[in-house]
Amino acid sequence: MTDPIKHFASRVSAHEMNRREFIGRSMAAGLTLAAATSLYGKSAMAQEPKRGGHLKLGLQGGSSTDVLDPAKSSSQFTFAMNRNWGDTLVESHPTSGLAVPALAESWEPNADASVWTFKIRKGVVFHDGADLTIDDVVKTLNRHTDEKSESGALGVLGSIKGIENNGGDLVLTLSEGNADLPLLLSDYHLVIQPGGGYDNPNAGIGTGPFKVDNFEAGVRATFVKNENDWRSDRGYVDSVEMIVMNDATARMAALSSGQVHFINRVDPKTVGLLKRAPNVDIQTTSGRGHYVFIMHCNTAPFDNNDLRLALKYAMDRETMVEKILGGYGKVGNDFPINETYALFPEGIEQRTYDADKAAFHFKKSGHDGSVLLRTSDVAFPGAVDAAVLYQESAKKAGINIEIKREPGDGYWSNVWNVQPFSTSYWGGRPTQDQMYSTAYLSTADWNDTRFLNTSFDKVLLEARAELDQNKRKEMYRDMALMVRDTGGLILPMFNDFVNATTNSVSGFVHDIGNDMSNGYVASRLWLNS
Amino acid sequence: MANPLAGVHAARHRLKESHPLTLLIVERLALSVLLLWAVSVLIFAGVEALPGDFAQTYLGQSATPQAIANIRADLGLDRPITTRYFEWLGGVVQGDFGNSWASGAPVSEQITKRLGNSLFLAFFAAAISVPLAVGLGMVAVHYRNRIPDRIINILSLAAISLPEFFIGYLLIVFFAVQLGVATFPSTVYDGMSWSERISAITLPTATLVLVVLAHMMRMTRAAIISVMSSAYMETAELKGLGAFKAIVKHAAPNAIAPIVNVVALNLAYLVVGVVVVEVVFVYPGMGQYMVDAVTVRDMPVVQACGLIFAAVYILLNMVADIVAIVANPRLRHPR
């Protein structure tokens, strides 16, 4: 091992560097990708997890309207809380994003990926002592999809037409082929509950690493270790306490005074100050969420592709990441997918700020006068600042952007998806298919760029049922190029998830799935002493 | 025919002669009920006017048209606004505030806990700040325009000039982060011992005391000074009463009306207006509870919170008026 790589490896062991940083820097120092990946694994595993102790988390996003019912989970707090007591059939791999078995042991699609058979794990016991059965699984999925469902996962599961018990196996029949079905079942709403949760959806009885001890909505939740957990590689502490802390400064104070071991949603503006605290480690993870400027492709003047290209070239992405995200993010390339997605299309040239090209396309578009951009800080943190930065960089290309600041209350109903040019935010989706289906399919409710492209729609539906990964990857590359070069999306940046831990805990996994180690933070952390 | 109301008028007149205070309280209580009803109408209309209903805001970005329709049908949100209002009113008249739409649990059960927390914090803040403010006000009058008066004024004005969240942050930085002597966060929960609770609320109580102190202290000082310049205070001084004794015996009873009014306003603030302090210190009180409910348009909870807040204001103002009248007989017989 050469010296710099050794140094990087020791930083991984000390949790000062995440996988992406380590592999990137090691490759720069001359290591191959495969070697870097395996070396990262060894360094990260170098520490043996310690068991026992009381883990405290200070979390943003809780509210006194929260409930234990996973179908109604919509806040950051309930997302992480339900991960403690419940399990889904499938999980996503922390670094590759691929489907990995959980309560489903294995699965098999038919030839056109429209019928899927899942083998359910044996010997798993619920917190109340009952065995997990195929019946519980079928009823849970029924509760999330039946005609009375109030579940947040209803939209994800829309294509499921049949849920059956076939000799102890779960058989799902879809209205059309979907190669990504297992990943859809990793949705955090789909926690398997005894009897499907029909009797008491708020019981908090599941198969997870911790049992619910006490839950006071909007205040705190406490958990004790589930001694009968079916997995031994999680749930290291004896008890967990999650405290709702909606104030960013309160979270920082609680962490730096050692009152909690972990906080989420560190403000990029003050992360520099938090870093100075000697007992704190900042944990950043690349995410799929992105801050966007969206134009309606069917509304003048944005119905002209040259004007759209001009506005895309007028965006200074590097400055956005630096000023708006405090450096905690990655530049975007005007399609909503980044390398954290499986089958990420490689080799697409990065679009950069180019005043000459912007001026060229602007002139070619024949548009005269200024362009009106609507924004508000509820679109994403710093959206108004971002609009002003954009105005400056566009001005240098001779494009005059007029900014209209809209009221925050009602922004999502009156401006977003209504006005032709505005700022917005998208959280990621588990798969490329879902991201494109949600916002770029011609018929999608949330097609907020009015991207109406029949050949795109056709490739999207074909790719969904395509089981050959190479062909599928090629299709996703075509789709990315269509959105990038003809769509109404200006995507300057993907934001990182910024969390922080004290140095008295270890085991934080940089999971690309979602914030807070994909919600599994409490079951993955352990106390050092 | 005699006016049927004439009898009522006569009775009212007789009561006014014999028990003026009782009449006042009865009239005020009747008016309060009317006021509370008006408040409930305003809140109901206000929440209805906000963009988005419960089903939309509660499901957020994961909302699908079918899930929204299911929630609306479940809660009866598809019915006309007047029907829903009178149904709710019917329940309240019988003492049933209904169930929270979000959690499905009875509102009264949840509110009892939150209101208890709010009153707990407000009680300690008031128990410290009211005697302290009145005492400091008297001391300031005694040393009027001298060093102690100046120091009291400068410090209390400095405290009131800083926003409450900033005072909170300062206390957290010094006492929780740097010195590590105070408890933070101030979350209180079931199963906490009495001493743990007291220790948890130390910092928020200190913040609230600093925030409300100046207002009450300044009013005490101003009211007493205005009384001090009156003729009977000169008499007291001439008959040889000591200065402090003159303030306590003669000036304070006459100055009590304005002081009690300010105290009542500050007490009401301590119960219903401290949501910022609750958020900064992570304290589970009524303020945060109501804000959460408004965010998702959880009508039964918003209504119950609004009524309690209004009742606190009405009640404290009524008590202030009664105390003022009891202290000053002249107010009982307005000309």
pLDDT given at position A10: 47
B292, B296, B302: best to mutate for the A interface, most A CBs within 10 A:
B292
All residues of chain A having their beta carbon less than 8 Å from the beta carbon of residue B114 are 64
The minimal CB distance from B177 to the residues A72, A245, A257 is found for A257
Residue A417, min C-alpha distance to chain B (Å): 13
Residue B74, min C-alpha distance to chain A (Å): 9
B181 touches chain A (CB under 8 A): no
All residues of chain B having their beta carbon less than 8 Å from the beta carbon of residue A63 are 292, 295-296
Given strand A497-502, what is the order of strands in its sheet? A210-216, A220-225, A239-244, A54-59, A262-263, A497-502, A280-285
Minimal Cα distance from A425: which residue of B? B61
pLDDT given at position B3: 62
User: Which of the pair, B97 or B243, is modelled with greater confidence?
Assistant: B97
- Given an 8 Å threshold on Cβ–Cβ distance, is A244 in contact with B104? no
- Distance, CA of B31 to CA of B247 (rounded, Å): 37
Residue B120, min C-alpha distance to chain A (Å): 16
A443 touches chain B (CB under 8 A): no
All residues of chain B having their beta carbon less than 8 Å from the beta carbon of residue A256 are 177
- Given an 8 Å threshold on Cβ–Cβ distance, is B288 in contact with A152? no
- Distance, CA of A397 to CA of A473 (rounded, Å): 36
What residues contact A424, with CB distance under 8 A and at least 6 apart?
Answer: A291, A292, A293, A294, A379, A380, A416, A448
User: Mean of the per-residue pLDDT values for chain B?
Assistant: 87
Angstrom distances, CA of residue A104 to CA of A227, A250, B46? 21, 40, 48
Minimal Cα distance from B300: which residue of A? A65
Tokens representing residue A459 in the block: 């490739």
Closest CA to A133 of A150, A118, A120: A120
The minimal CB distance from B59 to the residues A152, A214, A245 is found for A152
Q: Pick left, alpha or beta for residue A490 (phi over 0 → left; psi -120 to 50 → alpha; otherwise beta).
A: beta
Q: Quick check: A72 and A59 in contact, CB under 8 A?
A: no
Task: Please give the backbone phi and psi of residue A468, each rounded to the nearest 5 degrees, phi first.
Answer: -80, 110
Q: Pick left, alpha or beta for residue B147 (phi over 0 → left; psi -120 to 50 → alpha; otherwise beta).
A: alpha
Extract the residue ranges of chain A whose pLDDT is less than 50.
1-11, 13-16, 28-30, 42
Rounded to an integer, the average pLDDT of B74-101 is 89
- Distance, CA of A173 to CA of B76 (rounded, Å): 34
Angstrom distances, CA of residue A282 to CA of A255, A508, A514? 11, 11, 16
User: Which of the pair, B76 or A525, is modelled with greater confidence?
Assistant: A525
Side chain identity, residue A335? F
For the complex shown, is ipTM > 0.90? no
- Distance, CA of B222 to CA of B218 (rounded, Å): 6
Tokens representing residue A195 in the block: 């009897």
Report the SS3 class of residue A474: helix
The CATH class of the B121-297 domain is mainly alpha
SS (H, E, C) A323-352: HHCCCCEEECCCCCCCCCCCCCCCCCCCCC
Q: Quick check: B277 and B283 in contact, CB under 8 A?
A: yes
pLDDT given at position B334: 57
Q: Specify the length of chain B in residues.
A: 335
Angstrom distances, CA of residue B57 to CA of A218, A345, A409, B62? 17, 36, 12, 10
Q: Is the pLDDT of residue B147 over 70?
A: yes
Task: Say how many C-beta atoms besides its own lie within 10 A of residue B268's C-beta.
Answer: 19
Angstrom distances, CA of residue A299 to CA of A69, A399, A401, A414, A423? 42, 19, 17, 17, 16
pLDDT given at position B61: 58
* pTM of this structure: 0.84
Minimal Cα distance from B301: which residue of A? A65
- Distance, CA of A89 to CA of A70 (rounded, Å): 14
pLDDT given at position A35: 52
Peptide bond into B185 cis (omega under 30): yes
Q: Give domain limits for chain B.
A: 121-297
All residues of chain B having their beta carbon less than 8 Å from the beta carbon of residue A259 are 176, 184-185
Place of tokens 């091992």: A1
- Distance, CA of B264 to CA of A305 (rounded, Å): 65
pLDDT given at position A1: 38
pLDDT given at position A37: 52
Q: Is the pLDDT of residue B332 over 90?
A: no
All residues of chain A having their beta carbon less than 8 Å from the beta carbon of residue B104 are 67, 202
B103 touches chain A (CB under 8 A): yes
